[in-house]
């Protein structure tokens, strides 16, 4: 009569979630047989249950701590089996070999003028052919910028449109996740407001003076808009005195002083990122003939 011990003490170990590797060491536990008992002919082995690669390679399929190597990323079930005569025990472990989505790219930075929408140029990671990556996600995320709620036409598409309501510099992040793997890449999009509202002011006809106050109107930027680095200035264009003196060249109402009476042109210039606007005013400094 054969009294077979039940190998009920087996354990396949903890489930594993891995990133970017195709091999791991299993952490099974073999049944410990009764001291002094006889269990000749008992067997222990790892078996493949499911997964995209139907032929995993075990370094030692009879060892509970065998290495296992696969060729295709995905979720695998392996079974640790112990048979002792008429007794058989099985227990399954899940190993998730997640592909690292390292091929993502947020795309080129963009410098825009006078628009509140653009098409992003991200690149999605191309997954290994034949692999399984159920549950992986791709999405665009807002990182920073004056409008905290940009609208994506399809946040899961690398070429999604994005629309904002306030001009400024935005950081947007392309995010990909596959269980334990996560990759992000950030793109900068500078939505520059077009300073089209500038005006250099009315032309002036003067008599017997060498100084006047210019009357330009600067662009009124939208409330809460960020336009760091934008500049405003008066420039000399033409006239007999090529070195006029501005009391404050950055002020639309700057005074300007010249040394020679004659027709002189000045230009009010506003630059905001890739946006630039100019407008010219004519000031005729006429000499008073009474002198």
| CATH code for the domain of 134 | 2.60.40.10
Residues in Cβ contact with 207 at an 8 Å cutoff, skipping those fewer than 6 apart: 286, 288
Q: What's the pLDDT score for residue 80? A: 98
Domain that holds residue 281: 204-286
Q: What's the pLDDT score for residue 19? A: 96
Q: What's the pLDDT score for residue 108? A: 97
Number of domains, the chain: 3
On whether residue 1 sits in a domain, the answer given is no
Q: What's the pLDDT score for residue 225? A: 57
Q: What's the pLDDT score for residue 144? A: 97
User: What token pair was written down for 186?
Assistant: 């950030």
Q: Are 117 and 163 in contact (CB under 8 A)?
A: yes
Cα 206 versus chain centre, distance? 57
Final residue of a structural domain among 98, 123, 155? 98
Number of Cβ within 10 Å of residue 277's Cβ equals: 16
Predicted structure pTM score: 0.84
Q: What's the pLDDT score for residue 291? A: 62
Instruction: Give the C-alpha separation, 231 to 268, whole Å.
Output: 11
Q: What's the pLDDT score for residue 226? A: 59
Positions in the chain whose pLDDT score sits under 50:
none
Q: What's the pLDDT score for residue 222? A: 57
């Amino acid at each position: 009569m054969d009294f077979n011990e039940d190998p009920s003490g087996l354990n396949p170990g903890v489930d594993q979630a891995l990133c970017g590797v195709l091999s791991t060491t299993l952490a099974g536990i073999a049944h410990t047989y009764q001291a002094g008992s006889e269990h000749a002919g008992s067997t222990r082995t790892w078996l493949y249950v499911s997964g995209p690669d139907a032929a995993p390679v075990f370094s030692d399929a009879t060892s509970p701590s065998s290495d296992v190597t696969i060729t295709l990323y995905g979720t695998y079930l392996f079974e640790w089996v112990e048979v002792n005569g008429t007794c058989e025990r099985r227990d399954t472990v899940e190993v998730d070999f997640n592909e690292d989505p390292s091929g993502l790219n947020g795309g080129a930075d963009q410098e825009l003028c006078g628009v509140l929408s653009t098409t992003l140029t991200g690149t999605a990671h191309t997954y290994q052919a034949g692999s399984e990556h159920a549950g992986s996600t791709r999405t665009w995320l807002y990182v920073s910028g004056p409008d905290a709620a940009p609208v994506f036409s399809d946040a899961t598409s690398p070429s999604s449109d994005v629309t904002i309501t306030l001009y400024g510099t935005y950081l947007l992040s392309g995010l990909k996740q596959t269980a334990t793997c996560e990759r992000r890449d950030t793109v900068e999009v500078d939505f520059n407001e077009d300073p089209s509202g500038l005006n250099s002011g009315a032309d002036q006809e003067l008599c017997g003076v060498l100084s006047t106050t210019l009357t330009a109107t600067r662009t009124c930027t939208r409330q809460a808009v960020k336009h760091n680095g934008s500049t405003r200035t008066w420039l000399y264009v033409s006239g007999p005195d090529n070195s006029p003196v501005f009391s404050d060249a950055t002020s639309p109402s700057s005074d300007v002083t010249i040394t020679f009476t004659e027709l002189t042109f000045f230009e009010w210039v506003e630059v905001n990122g890739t946006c630039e606007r100019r407008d010219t005013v004519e000031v005729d400094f006429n000499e008073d003939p009474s002198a």
